[in-house]
DNA sequence: CATGTTAGTTCAATGCGTGAACGAAACGGC
DNA sequence: GCCGTTTCGTTCACGCATTGAACTAACATG
């Protein structure tokens, strides 16, 4: 029973302004007249609001179109260079910092390689901060033009606590305060979330999930996770760790999983589990091409994998009744590209008719590199929801 | 990406009024002064708003308390007899109609037995309509005082479509328009949902789920279902059929399930599956006492059941990260009363540490008879959210 | 150039929450 | 019994929101 907040007349403006901004952001250039229909607001309100947004330079004019026999309509659009966003992908082997304009066009990027022994959190924070300076310089953008920094990290990001604490076993991070470290080095607003979640967010906003209100985005790499979207909102759970699909049990006394338990879905369909089951030596370094060979050769292991994946997806459909399921992650895309039809068949056999018919199962569009973009999306979301109070910030 | 609606100043009032009503409804009698703190609204707003609500007789005074050395505070509360709610439970063997006051105190009730051959939808509708008249007469309440009728039915209730259509295989209902039939017989607003969902709603509002923002309420009877609550809202999915937990697969080539598939959770922990596994003949009529005997004797089947149930719950925890899990339904309560500790152990072994620690697993409080109350809660929810536009309706 | 059509703006009206001033109802001390 | 103090509650002018109606702007057509 989420308590609604107290509202005042100003919140009305904030909400309507956000709605208008979203319509224009996703609905392409539109005239003021069209916006009245799309938003439900009166022409008067649209007029004053677009006036404000134009003087703030958040919107810009985008040509005009004839309207047979009358005054031509002036098209409005979001000004892509009004401000910029920074997205960061902290992964096992690298830290990547990317600079985007408001339309998510990449303006600059820098990569830092992490040696396995160097997952020291302070080093990572220094890399990120240095990367911010580099992309700003490369993109010829000042910090004052940046709305914020989104960071996708591995592991669980505890929110709500005084500071976002990160727990990532494989990194040796146990309650690491990345947010605090960032704030010590920059005055830009910082948003942190799990990398799989930010990737899901990217697919939802800019990939195959566009427009879906109820969706599940599953990410299959060496690990397996999911982003659940209900009523247009990502389901985070009570401590922001919802979506651990990989460790749901699909077989009561199944294969041991690296999490210590048995029968986890990840032990079957995760890249590592899959390669292991196919008899590929663990030392193999180039997992993607090894996986490609396994999938191309086919055989019972591959068939089994399809069955496990399809059954796992069927469980999601029964439980959550999404309108769309996206399969993403590098391994997920490789499996999906070759076996999507078979997967659909298995899903159909293992889910109830009514929810199955309501779902479409598709592949992700953005590829495995969307973590940083999704992280930047966290900043964008904040901007679209609350562009009024959120101000551009001073340089660090 | 749920589109927010256009808002005007009046929506501000509606929202704040709803918040105030909720605080008073769940937060017991309060003085105006306390309400300023609890709602965040100014004293001025509280004053005018309570004034309105008092003249509308939605609120009433509830005595006063001294305040050392100053004017005593006048306590306000929701007037329980301002209006009434009707809840209906349509089950396999009976139709039950109950009349509640605003505080969910039962004022009258009537039961109709359904013979297995008489699940004709028109008959059911006639029974409900007759039942409404009976409880109104018994409770000495006029239809004009009733806010609406909530109905809990078996099967899937498709919403959004022109009319709520009901699909219930066991009843032979395939797209049955109960809502339309009701409207033909009464002018009261009608709300229809799956009975397991309404029961979950009842537990969430008035049972062991009070105050939880992220919860899963699992219901185990002969069938198995779940209500998922995220951010205080029930997750319905795209066609209102989310929560089919019973038919998620927990064993790849497991027991056949009555749904036609194999390895469904319901085939193991549903009352029917459990009794069958324990070797109890299917013809047994008194399932509850048979189940009691099986559970009291114990043995490997019971242990297995605990393992399956615990593993299923662990999957929910990993996937959804709830703060609370409620076990309900007549069979669920019987198992839970005897084996809750063992269940907790199994859950701990099969879920990730962090989300496990964030969850408490408890039994439902309301017993298996809460379907009608939960259905009435649908009406109450509407009232609390929008008491302003929702008017009392003329008699049928 | 007059007329019609469509697009966009301005303005008075209405509604809402708020802070500040005000009124109400108790107590304690004398 | 009176008065100051304390706490609770109400009233009112103000700022800010949307809106419909009246108005202006910019085009096409004849």
A9: the nucleotide nearest its CA (via C1') is D17
Is A355's CB within 8 Å of B322's CB? no
CB atoms within 10 A of CB B367: 14
Q: A9-78: which CATH topology? A: Arc Repressor Mutant, subunit A (1.10.10)
User: Which nucleotide is closest to the Cα of A43 by its C1'?
Assistant: C8
A241 CB near a chain B CB, below 8 Å?
yes
CA B52 to C1' C23, in angstroms, rounded, equals 20
C30 C1' to B33 CA distance, Å: 32
Determine whether the interchain pair B350/A1 forms a contact, defined as Cβ–Cβ distance below 8 Å: no
Partners of residue B212 in chain A, C-beta under 8 Å: 1
Interface of A with B in 184-213 (CB under 8 A): 204-205, 211-213
CA of A101 to C1' of D24 (A): 37
Determine the distance between B42 (CA) and C19 (C1') in angstroms. Answer: 9
CA of B56 to C1' of C25 (A): 25
| pLDDT of amino acid B162 | 62
B239 vs A contacts (CB less than 8 Å): 321, 354-355, 358
CB A91 within 8 A of CB A48: no
Answer whether A190's CB lies under 8 Å from A177's CB. Answer: no
**A371 inside 8 A of chain B by CB:** no
Which residues make up the CATH 3.30.420.40 domain(s) of chain B? Answer: 84-198+371-386, 210-365
Nearest C-alpha of chain B: how many angstroms from A3?
7
- Whether A353 has its CB under 8 Å from any CB of chain B: the answer is no
CATH class given for the domain over B210-365:
alpha beta
Q: Hey, are the CB atoms on B6 and A39 less than 8 Å from each other?
A: yes
CA-based nearest residue in chain B for residue A313: B248
Residues 25-54 of A with CB under 7 A from strand D: 40-45, 48-49
Is A235 in Cβ contact with B320 (below 8 Å)?
yes
Look up the protein residue whose alpha carbon has the minimum distance to the C1' of D9. Answer: B47
pLDDT of residue A395: 27
Q: Of B205, B245, B314, which has the smallest distance from its Cβ to A249's Cβ?
A: B314
**A37 sits within 7 Å of strand C by its CB:** no
CB-defined contacts A:B, below 8 A:
208
Tell me, yes or no, if A282 comes closer than 8 A to chain B by beta carbon.
Answer: no
| pLDDT the model gives residue A207 | 95
Please say whether the beta carbons of A384 and A18 come within 8 A: yes
Tell me if A354 and B259 make a contact (CB, 8 A cut-off).
Answer: no
Q: Encode burial over A311-331: b for 16+ CB neighbours within 10 A, e otherwise.
A: bbbbbbbbbbbbbbbbbbbbb
Contact A242 B16 (CB under 8 A): no
User: Which CATH architecture is the domain B84-198+371-386 placed in?
Assistant: 2-Layer Sandwich (3.30)
Which residues does residue B363 pair with via DSSP β-bridges, in sequence order?
Answer: B327
Distance in Å, residue A70 CA to nucleotide C1 C1': 17
**Cβ neighbours, 10 Å, residue B234:** 21
| A66 contact to strand D (CB, 7 A limit) | yes
User: Which chain B residues are Cβ-neighbours of A387 within 8 angstroms?
Assistant: none
In this structure, is the CB of residue B31 within 7 Å of any atom belonging to strand D? Answer: yes
A12 touches strand D (CB under 7 A): yes
Q: Splitting chain A (396 residues) into consecutive groups of 10 residues, what average pLDDT does each group show? A: 82 95 94 95 96 95 86 95 96 93 96 83 94 97 96 86 78 88 94 92 95 95 93 93 95 90 94 92 83 93 97 98 96 96 97 94 90 96 72 31
Give yes or no for A14 touching B (CB within 8 A).
no
- In three state form, how does the secondary structure of chain B look? CCCCCCCCHHHHHHHHHHHHHHHHHHCCCEEHHHHHHHHCCCHHHHHHHHHHHHHCCCEEEEEEEEECCEEEEEEEEECCCCCEEEEEEECCCEEEEEEEECCCCEEEEEEEECCCCCCCHHHHHHHHHHHHHHHHHHHCCCHHHEEEEEEEECCEEECCCCCCEEEEHHHCEEEECHHHHHHHHCCCCEEEEEHHHHHHHHHHHHCCCCCCCCEEEEEECCCEEEEEEECCEECCCCCCCCCCHHHCECCCCCCECCCCCECECHHHHCHHHHHHHCCCCCCCCCHHHHHHHHHHHCCHHHHHHHHHHHHHHHHHHHHHCCCEEEEECHHHHHHHHHHHHHHHHHHHHHCCHHHHHCCEEEECCCHHHCHHHHHHHHHHHHHHHHCCCCCCCCCC
- Distance, CA of B79 to C1' of D12, in Å: 30
CA/C1' separation A68–C14 (Å): 37
B320 at the A interface (CB within 8 A)?
A: yes
Q: Which chain B residues have a beta carbon less than 8 Å from that of A250?
A: 249-250, 252
The whole-number pLDDT of residue B391 equals 37
pLDDT digits (tens, 9 = 90+) for B308-362: 999 999 999 999 999 999 999 999 999 999 999 999 999 999 999 989 999 999 9
φ, ψ for residue A303 (rounded to 5)? -60, -45
| pLDDT-flagged residues of chain B (< 70) | 1-2, 118, 160-162, 387-396
| Contact assignment for B226 to A319 by CB distance below 8 Å | yes
| Mutation choice for A interface testing from B27, B245, B248 by most A CBs within 10 A | B248
């Amino acid at each position: 029973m989420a308590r609604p907040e107290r509202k005042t007349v100003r919140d009305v403006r904030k909400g309507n302004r956000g709605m208008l901004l979203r319509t224009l952001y996703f609905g392409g250039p539109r005239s003021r007249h069209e916006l009245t229909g799309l938003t439900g607001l009166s022409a008067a309100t649209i007029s004053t609001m677009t006036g404000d947004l134009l003087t703030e330079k958040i919107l810009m004019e985008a040509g005009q179109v004839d309207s047979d026999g009358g005054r031509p309509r002036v098209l409005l659009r979001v000004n892509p260079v009004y401000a910029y966003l920074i997205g960061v992908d902290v992964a096992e082997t690298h830290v990547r910092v990317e600079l985007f304009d408001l339309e998510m066009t990449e303006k600059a990027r820098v990569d830092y390689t992490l040696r396995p022994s160097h997952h020291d959190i302070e080093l990572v924070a220094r890399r990120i901060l240095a990367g911010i300076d580099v992309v700003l310089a490369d993109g010829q953008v000042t910090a004052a033009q940046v709305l914020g920094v989104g960071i996708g990290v591995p592991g669980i990001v505890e929110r709500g606590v005084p500071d976002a604490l990160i727990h990532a076993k494989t990194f040796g991070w146990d309650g690491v305060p990345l947010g605090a470290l960032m704030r010590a080095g920059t005055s830009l607003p910082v948003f942190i979330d799990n990398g799989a979640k930010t990737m899901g967010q990217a697919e939802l906003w800019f990939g195959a999930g566009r427009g879906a209100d109820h969706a599940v985005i599953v990410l299959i790499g060496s690990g397996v996770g999911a982003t659940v979207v209900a009523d247009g909102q990502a389901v985070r759970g009570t401590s922001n760790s919802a979506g651990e699909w990989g460790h749901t049990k699909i077989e009561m006394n199944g294969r041991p999983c690296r999490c210590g338990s048995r029968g986890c879905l990840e032990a079957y369909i995760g890249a590592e589990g899959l390669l292991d089951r196919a008899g590929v030596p663990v030392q193999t370094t180039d997992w993607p091409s090894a996986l490609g060979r396994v999938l191309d050769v086919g055989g019972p292991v591959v068939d089994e994998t399809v069955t496990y994946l399809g059954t796992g997806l069927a469980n999601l459909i029964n439980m959550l009744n999404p309108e769309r399921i996206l399969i993403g992650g590098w391994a997920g895309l490789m499996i999906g590209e070759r076996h999507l039809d078979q997967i659909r068949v298995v899903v159909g056999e293992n889910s109830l008719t009514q929810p199955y018919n309501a779902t479409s199962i598709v592949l992700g569009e953005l590829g495995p590199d969307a973590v940083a973009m999704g992280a930047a999306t966290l900043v964008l979301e904040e901007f679209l929801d609350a562009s009024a109070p959120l101000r551009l910030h001073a340089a660090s």
